[in-house]
Amino acid sequence: MAMASYTRLRTGEWGARIPREDVKPGDRVVVESRSLTARSEEVDKVIWRGNGVALCSLVPKPTRRRGKPRNSKAARPTEH
């Protein structure tokens, strides 16, 4: 079975091009990037299907913040 691949949607967001038409919202699919990294993603909406392919938007993942958390002691000014 061929793996799904990431594709840019008309909205500018990243979605998935899935090589089958029987996909529905909530399904989990394995999507492979150009660097051959495979990730499990959840289908949010099926945007289009036809010719054995479905284009889908993906459920957004929470973003990870970099750096120190704002509430850490290192970030607070010291009082004298």
Burial label, 60 (beta-carbon count in 10 A; 0-12, 13-18, 19+):
exposed
Range of weakest confidence among 15-19, 46-50, 65-69: 65-69
Q: Is the pTM of this model over 0.75?
A: no
Tokens for 44?
A: 């949010």
**pLDDT at position 8 over 60:** yes
Helix or strand holding residue 30 (H, E)? strand 28-32
pLDDT for 73: 59
Helix (H, G, I), strand (E, B) or coil at 72: coil
Residue for token digits 């036809």?
50
